[in-house]
Amino acid sequence: MIILKEENYRTIVMRPEDSVAVALEEIPAETKLSVTFPDKKTKEIIVKETILFGHKFAIIPITGGSYIMKYGEVIGKALRDIEEGEHVHVHNLEGVRGRGDKIVGN
């Protein structure tokens, strides 16, 4: 992969156990950046695709079917394996609550 940019875009990780960071400004695809955890530890991530303001990207590899964490809580389940640096949104994350459509018989 060609790294087009290496800048520190503003991002936020809410809790140490979170699997996603939120972009506080638009991040172009193929950007190498550093995210900061609440305990001030940092980690370098290569953001694979454009992340719009307010959207999330994975800061660890996430296995399909496992829970995705933000605020230290479950925000849904991975629909497939998600790579570190991938955009995490409705295309690869699904909510698990209020799912009347999942009830057998419907």
Partner 1 sequence: METNNEAEAKFLGYKRHDGKVGVRNHVLILPTITCATQAAKQITELVHGTVSFIHQHGCAQVGVDYEQTFRTYVGLGLNPNVYGVVVLGLGCETHQARSVASEIAKTGKRVETVSIQDYGGTLSAIAEGAKAATKLVQEASAQMREWCDFSELIIGTECGGSDACSGLSANPAVGVVSDMIVEKGGTAILAETTELIGAEHLLANRAKNERVAKRAYEIIKAMENRSILMGVDIRTGNPSPGNIKGGLSSLEEKSLGAANKAGKSQLNEVIDYAEAPTEKGLVWMDTPGHDIEQLTGMVAGGAQVVLFTSGRGTPTGSPIAPVIKISTNTPMFERMSENMDLDAGTIIDGKETVEDVGKRIFDEIGMVCSGKLTKAEILKQHDFGIWRIGPTF
**Binding of partner 1 by 75 (CB under 8 A):** yes
Q: Which is it for the CA torsion 16, 18, 21, 24, positive or negative? A: negative
- Closest CB 98 distance from partner 1, rounded Å: 3
**Binding of partner 1 by 93 (CB under 8 A):** yes
**Binding of partner 1 by 7 (CB under 8 A):** no
**Binding of partner 1 by 32 (CB under 8 A):** no
Q: How far is CA 70 from CA 87, 104, 106, in A?
A: 14, 29, 31
* List 42, 52, 80, 83, residue binding partner 1 (CB under 8 A): 52
Q: How many CB atoms lie within 10 A of CB 13?
A: 21
